[in-house]
């Protein structure tokens, strides 16, 4: 009785080009919605931070869309955007990412200390210059934290699209399940996790590079804990 | 009745120009709250005017009306003769230095760029703005090595110095300071206050300084405006006058205890008569001074610096004074310190006498208890007149 191995490497080897193609498709369908959502979340978040009355309804609408079962959304979209198209999969993902990113922008702007904002006003910043030069840069760490969550979940959510024929690596799950063949399923899971991990790592590096003042602060805090006596920098 | 106290003697320097004038200024909010009520006051050019009062007295609101962070609802504020409401706020603010309580540094910018903020806003090129920032860091007593750090890497006191440097960056004639030193510990606060006075002696800015701490007001102010809740001026006077003649019970109570002692800080100590016959060098033979009628002698080293007091009854029959245990002493710098320092110095000595020293720490002479008594009596007489 020939024991079936959990992973058949020869299958992976034979189907590697297709797998890579699925991974690339998965990545595009995950990242484009996040980018679109970020572009939309910035003005909406700015408006929400400025006018509180605007914030709750906006988040409410986005959250309602977020709560809809994705399959239901796909079915509604198919007549408009077509079956098995990228657009059908990406539209709900834009809303999912927005549900994370709008609060992130609002929280990021709220993280600007009042005395910093006041001193910017007192130095003679115009409102636009204050926003671009002081408030948004200080909001970056909080926004990036939201962006990491949105990106990672978007990469894994794409696979749901396999139900309507376009799910990136999600295709491997359907394929493996239909054929009672675990290799594609495992390959799909590993690749989704790898892609998500890689994207997250890149965002962490971007954060280090964009906000050295914030990364250094975290490092200083971590350093201060074990050896309180020799805190670097805090002269 | 907005102005309870406009009279009194004009403090020194009042004859000069008024860089900032509050002319019957009020701030009334739509809900009916009155933050400032009919404030009339001049901040003379080159002086520190302190606004002091309990919370709710409108002192911060008054300050912020100068650079239009708050707009007055009544009256006018003139800055160098110009009504501030005719000037576009960002332009107005770039010409006025502003220091706030927690320094308000930009966490995402290096220290040097924080200091260069206003020069950047004014469109200076980067190199010139940074050079100016470096110059100011040195001026406020910060190491140039801190320039490349971020604010969170500095202590509270250092951040506050950066805040002062930033306010001075474009060399504005006017500085507004809103409780700038209240968030740091008392020792750092005292050194920041000293630093501000030192800077002011070099720069002669027109400063409006807001605090709730009357001691800070008295230490820093050329003139002190005491405000009461509801934004009314209770008294405007020099610190010495304020301590000597509080306008009413509110001011008296606000000034707190020890008013008499604190007033001595404003009586110069250089008028005290010195006795020079009570000082002996440590190398002197004990026997040669045993015949003195004085119960205590001040012993000084070869440079003339004080070593302590020696009691006549402790003097040995032979040897120099080096072998005699000296009792502790208090000293004050005669050309600089006040009568209060002299009194303090006397209280630190078992002899009850104060040592007067020069700027280099060499003993100039002794102020006896009798002389201090006389000086205190003169000071008290001055308070009545």
pLDDT tens for each residue of A218-230? 555 555 444 333 3
**Domains recognised in chain B with CATH numbers:** 18-95+173-266 (3.40.50.300), 279-384 (3.10.580.10)
CA A171 vs. chain centroid, Å, equals: 21
Asked whether A156 and A222 are in contact (CB, 8 A), the reply is no
CATH of domain A9-220: 1.10.3720.10
Query: Which pLDDT belongs to residue B322?
Result: 83
**Which two tokens mark B110?**
């290096």
pLDDT for res A217: 55
B227 neighbors B57 (Cβ within 8 angstroms): yes
Edge-first strand order for the sheet with B306-311 is: B279-281, B296-300, B306-311
H-helix or E-strand containing B41? strand B34-44
Q: What is the predicted pLDDT for the residue at B311?
A: 87
Q: Nearest C-alpha of chain A: how many angstroms from B211?
A: 17
Which pLDDT does position B60 carry in this prediction?
94
The label of the residue with tokens 């016959």 reads B277
> Which residues neighbour B88 within 8 Å (Cβ) at sequence distance 6 or greater?
none
At A235 the pLDDT is: 33
Residue B264: exposure state from Cβ atoms within 10 A (0-12, 13-18, ≥19) = buried
pLDDT digits (tens, 9 = 90+) for A38-79: 999 999 999 999 998 999 999 899 889 888 888 889 989 999
Which residues of chain B lie closer than 8 angstroms to A124, CB-CB?
89-95, 118, 121
d(CA A54, CA A51): 5
Counting DSSP H helices and E strands in chain B, the numbers are: 14, 16
Buried b (16+ CB within 10 A) or exposed e, A216-225: bbeebeeeee
Least Cα separation, residue B94 to chain A (angstroms): 5
DSSP codes joined into one string, A86-128? HHHHHHHHHHHHHHHHHHHHHHHHHTS-HHHHHHHHHHT--HH
Rounded average pLDDT over A74-100: 93
Is B90 close to A124, i.e. CB distance below 8 A? yes
In the prediction, which pLDDT does B292 show? 80
Is B188 near chain A, with CB under 8 Å? no
As for the ipTM of the complex, it is 0.81
CA A117 to chain centre: 29
User: Are A115 and B146 an interchain contact pair (Cβ–Cβ within 8 Å)?
Assistant: no
Question: Distance between CA B237 and CA B266 in Å, rounded?
Answer: 13
Distance CA A114, CA A109 (A): 11
- State the pLDDT at residue B14: 40
What mean pLDDT is predicted for residues A74-86?
91
Contacts of B150 in chain A (CB under 8 A): 212-213, 216-217
Q: In what order do the strands lie in the sheet with B18-28?
A: B34-44, B18-28, B74-79, B82-83
- For chain A, which residues lie within 8 Å of any Cβ of chain B, measuring from their own Cβ? 113, 115-116, 118-126, 129, 134, 137-138, 140, 211-214, 216-217, 220, 233-235
Q: Find the mean pLDDT for residues A189-203.
A: 97
Contacts of residue B131, defined as CB under 8 A and 6 or more positions apart, other chains included, come to: none
Q: Over chain B (385 residues), what is each successive 10-residue block's mean pLDDT? A: 32 58 95 93 95 92 96 94 94 95 92 97 96 95 94 92 95 95 88 94 95 93 94 93 91 85 84 88 83 86 89 83 85 89 89 90 91 88 56
Quick one: pLDDT band at residue A216, thresholds 50, 70, 90?
low
Mean pLDDT, residues A129-143: 95
Rounded average pLDDT over A157-174: 93
- How many contacts, defined by CB atoms under 8 Å, are there between A and B? 88
Yes or no, beta carbons of B106 and A220 under 8 Å apart: no
Structure tokens at B170: 């474009």
- For the stretch B333-345, what's the b/e string if a residue is b when 16 or more beta carbons lie within 10 angstroms of its beta carbon? bbeebbbbbbbbb
Comparing C-alpha atoms, which of A108, A101, A84 is closest to residue A34?
A101
Neighbours of B53 (CB within 10 A): 26
CA-CA distance, B216 to B50, in Å (whole number)?
9
H/E stretch holding B218: helix B214-220
pLDDT at B49: 97
The percentage of residues in chain A with a pLDDT greater than 90, rounded to a whole number, is 75
């Amino acid at each position: 009785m020939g024991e079936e191995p959990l992973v058949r490497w020869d299958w992976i080897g034979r189907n590697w080009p297709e797998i890579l193609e699925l991974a690339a498709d998965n990545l595009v369908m995950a990242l484009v919605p996040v980018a679109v959502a970020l572009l939309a979340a910035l003005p909406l978040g700015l408006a929400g931070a400025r006018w509180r009355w605007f914030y709750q309804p906006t988040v409410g609408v986005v959250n309602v869309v977020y709560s809809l079962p994705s399959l239901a959304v796909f079915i509604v979209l198919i007549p408009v955007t077509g079956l098995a198209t990228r657009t059908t999969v990406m539209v709900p993902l834009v809303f999912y990412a927005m549900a994370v990113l709008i609060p992130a922008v609002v929280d990021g702007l709220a993280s600007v200390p009042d005395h910093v904002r006041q001193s910017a006003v007192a130095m003679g910043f115009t409102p636009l210059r204050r926003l671009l030069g002081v408030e948004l840069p200080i909001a970056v760490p909080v926004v990036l934290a939201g962006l990491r969550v949105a990106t990672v979940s978007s990469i894994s959510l794409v696979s749901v699209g396999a139900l309507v024929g376009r799910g990136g690596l999600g295709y491997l799950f359907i394929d493996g399940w239909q054929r009672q063949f675990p290799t594609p399923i495992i390959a799909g899971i590993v690749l989704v996790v790898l892609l998500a991990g890689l994207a997250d790592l890149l965002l962490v590096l971007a954060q280090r590079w964009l906000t050295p003042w914030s990364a250094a602060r975290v490092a200083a805090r971590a350093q201060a804990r074990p050896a309180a006596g020799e805190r670097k920098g805090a002269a | 009745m907005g102005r309870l106290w406009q009279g009194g003697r004009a403090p020194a320097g009042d004859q000069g120009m008024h860089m900032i004038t509050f002319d019957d200024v009020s701030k009334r909010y739509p809900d009916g709250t009155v933050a400032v009520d009919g404030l009339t006051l001049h901040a003379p050019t080159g002086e520190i005017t302190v606004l002091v009062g309990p919370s709710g007295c409108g002192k911060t609101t008054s300050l912020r009306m100068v650079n239009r962070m708050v707009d007055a609802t009544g009256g006018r504020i003139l800055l160098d003769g110009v009504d501030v409401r005719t000037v576009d706020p960002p332009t107005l603010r770039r010409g006025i230095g502003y220091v706030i309580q927690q320094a308000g540094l930009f966490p995402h910018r290096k220290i040097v760029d924080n200091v260069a903020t206003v020069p950047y806003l004014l469109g200076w090129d980067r190199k010139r703005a940074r050079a100016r920032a470096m110059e100011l860091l040195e001026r406020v007593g910060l190491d140039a090595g801190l320039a490349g750090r971020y604010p969170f890497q500095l202590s509270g006191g250092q951040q506050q110095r950066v805040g002062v440097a930033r306010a001075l960056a474009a060399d504005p004639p006017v500085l507004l300071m809103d409780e700038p030193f209240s968030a740091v510990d008392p020792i750092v606060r005292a050194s920041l206050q000293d630093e501000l006075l030192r800077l002011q002696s070099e720069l002669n800015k027109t400063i409006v300084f807001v605090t709730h701490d009357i001691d800070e007001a008295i230490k820093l102010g050329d003139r002190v405006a005491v405000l009461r809740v509801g934004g009314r001026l209770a008294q405007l006077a020099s610190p010495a006058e304020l301590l000597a003649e509080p306008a009413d019970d509110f001011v008296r109570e606000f000034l707190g205890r020890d008013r008499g002692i604190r007033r001595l800080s404003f009586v110069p100590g250089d008028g005290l008569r010195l006795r020079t016959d009570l000082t002996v060098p440590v190398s002197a033979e004990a026997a040669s001074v045993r015949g003195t009628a004085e119960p205590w002698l001040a012993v000084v080293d070869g440079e003339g610096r004080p070593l302590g007091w020696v009691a006549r009854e402790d003097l040995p029959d032979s040897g120099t004074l080096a072998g005699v245990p000296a009792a502790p002493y208090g000293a004050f710098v005669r050309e600089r310190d006040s009568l209060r320092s002299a009194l303090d110095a006397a209280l630190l000595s078992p002899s009850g006498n104060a040592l007067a020293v020069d700027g280099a720490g060499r003993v100039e002479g002794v102020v006896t208890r009798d002389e201090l008594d006389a000086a205190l009596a003169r000071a008290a007489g001055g308070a009545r007149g």
